Structure 1
Amino acid sequence: MNGEIDTMIATEKIVKAHHRTKSNTSTTLANYWTRFWMRYAGLSFFGRLATRFASWFAAPHKARPYLARMNPRGYIAAGVTIYHDDLRLGRNVFIDDRVVIFQRENGGAVELGDRVCIYRDTILETGHGGYLSVGADSSIHPRCQMNAYVTPIEIGCGVMIAPNCAFYTYDHGVAPDQPISKQPLQSKGSIIIANDAWIGVGVIVLGGVRIGEGAVVGAGSVVTGDVPDGAIAAGVPARIIKMRSDLI
Structure 2
Amino acid sequence: MFWMRFASLSYPGRFATWVATWFAPPYKARRHLARYNAQGYVAPSANIYHPQLLRGAHVFIGDRATIYQANDGGTVKLGDRVHLHNDTCIETGVGGSLKIGADTHIQPRCQFSAYKAVIEIGANVQIAPNCAFYSYAHSVALGELIQKQPLQTKGGIYIADDAWIGCGAIVLDGVRIGKGAVIGAGAVVTRDIPDNAIAAGVPARTLSMRSN
Tell whether the structures are fold-level matches, with TM greater than 0.5: yes
Q: Give 2:50's match in structure 1, choosing from 84, 87, 90.
A: 84
- Measure, in 2, the Cα distance between the counterparts of 1:120 and 1:52: 16
Match of 1:215 in 2: 181
Greater alpha carbon shift after TM alignment, 177-186 vs 203-212: 177-186
Within a 5 Å distance, the mapping from 1:3-14 to structure 2 comes to none
Greater share of residues in helix: 1
Q: Is residue 175 of structure 1 aligned with residue 149 of structure 2?
A: no
Runs of 4+ in 1 over 6 A off after TM superposition: none
Match of 1:3 in 2: none
Match of 2:87 in 1: 121
Match of 1:148 in 2: 114
CA deviation profile, 1:113-135 (whole Å, cap 9, x unmatched): 10000001010000011000100
Q: Give 1:186's match in structure 2, choosing from 148, 152, 155.
A: 152
Match of 2:36 in 1: 70
The code of the aligned residue for 2:157 comes to I
- Measure, in 1, the Cα distance between the counterparts of 2:133 and 2:196: 20
Q: Is residue 36 of structure 1 aligned with residue 2 of structure 2?
A: yes
Q: TM-score, normalised by structure 2?
A: 0.98
Identity rate, percent: 61
Within a 5 Å distance, the mapping from 1:20-35 to structure 2 comes to 35=1
- Measure, in 2, the Cα distance between the counterparts of 1:195 and 1:107: 25
Query: Cα distance, 1:59 vs. partner?
Result: 2.2
- Greater length-normalized contact order (CA 8 Å, ≥ 6 residues apart): 2
CA deviation profile, 1:165-202 (whole Å, cap 9, x unmatched): 00001111111121111111000110001000000000
Match of 1:132 in 2: 98
- Measure, in 1, the Cα distance between the counterparts of 2:8 and 2:105: 19
Describe the SS at the equivalent of 1:147: strand
Describe the SS at the equivalent of 1:111: strand
Within a 5 Å distance, the mapping from 1:50-61 to structure 2 comes to 50-61=16-27
CA deviation profile, 1:82-108 (whole Å, cap 9, x unmatched): 111100000000001100111111100
- Measure, in 2, the Cα distance between the counterparts of 1:160 and 1:45: 32
CA deviation profile, 1:185-236 (whole Å, cap 9, x unmatched): 0001100010000000000000000000010001010000011111110111
Q: Give 1:205's match in structure 2, choosing from 157, 171, 180.
A: 171
- Measure, in 1, the Cα distance between the counterparts of 2:20 and 2:134: 35
Structure whose alpha-carbon radius of gyration is higher: 1
Query: Cα distance, 1:67 vs. partner?
Result: 0.7
Q: TM-score, normalised by structure 1?
A: 0.84
Gaps of 5+ in 1: 1-34
Describe the SS at the equivalent of 1:39: helix
